[in-house]
Amino acid sequence: PSPFIDPPPHLRWVSGRILNGQDAKDGAWPWQVSVRMYGSHICGGSLISESWVVSAAHCFDPSVANSTYRVQLGETRLVSETPTQTFSSVKRIILHPNFNSSTFLADIALVELEKPIAFTAAISPVCLLDASVRVPAGTPCWVTGWGNMRPQAETLQELKVFTIDSTICNDHIREALQKPAGDNPVKEDMMCAGYMEGYKGTAPGDSGGPLVCEENGTWYLAGIVSWLLETIEHSVAAGYPGVYNRPNAHNEWILENKTAWGLHPAGERSLGMGFAFQKNPLQRCIGLYSRGG
């Protein structure tokens, strides 16, 4: 069912996809993964340690066995085989217990890989933000994905977007959906990024895929692609940004899984926007970190 009450006939919500992006270079986004179901690409995700991927909860069917899913890492093309590409079976999937499929609240999932992955130049985790961090409005970030439209892009797409103030975003989307004041579709654990005017490829990338922002040479996972507005004709509604789950809004839940995660506090703080959950061997994450799976 639609999460919105009586939306106008020309608009509806859909899970994310990317439009008007550009081909990504090999190895540019080494944390990007493809989540496969029965061998077909269904969602994106982000590698966050040797054994764990974070994605969107709405990507997974709890009634389907974990063995149905596989994860592709180290590749920018969905069908081409290269020496950097690797596949992993899925050991388990943890959906956030508060996930609401109608409102997309807590649209986050942890995916444990069957075996730890060796990091390379093409396969490397992204840093996670501390719970206290709110990425400022107007921050340039990047969203990546292959798109869930048909035909899919063979090469990973990248799109530069800007974060948008949540109050402004809520007002904009609420007006389009003809919802009353105070009935906010963009919840506390969500954020907006894209463009508020014109048609500039406002759609985000694959559902579950990363929205990443860079500070001082380190890339942080600011958002997980969750939902956007689309016309009934299946065209992305121009002038409406994508909506992302903020993974750092769920750090407490992530820490509750620390037995599986192997998280350990580093006791170190950053003066910038970035705290993080693991040390990446190819870049430095500040704060709490993981020693792997």
Positions marked active-site: 58, 107, 207
**What's the full length of the chain, in residues?**
293
Return the closest-CA partner of residue 67 out of 37, 45, 40, 42: 37
For residues 180 and 247, is the Cβ–Cβ distance under 8 A?
no
d(Cα 237, Cα 255) in Å, to the nearest integer? Answer: 37
Compute the CA torsion angle 191, 208, 218, 258 (nearest 10 deg).
100
Bridge partner list, 72? 34, 87
Counts for the chain of helices (H) and strands (E), in that order: 3, 17
Within 10 angstroms of residue 193's Cβ, the number of other Cβ atoms is 29
Tokens for 45, please give them. Answer: 């995700």
d(Cα 72, Cα 281) in Å, to the nearest integer? Answer: 20
Compute the CA torsion angle 17, 22, 26, 28 (nearest 10 deg).
-80
For tokens 């769920």, name the residue. Answer: 250
d(Cα 162, Cα 222) in Å, to the nearest integer? Answer: 12
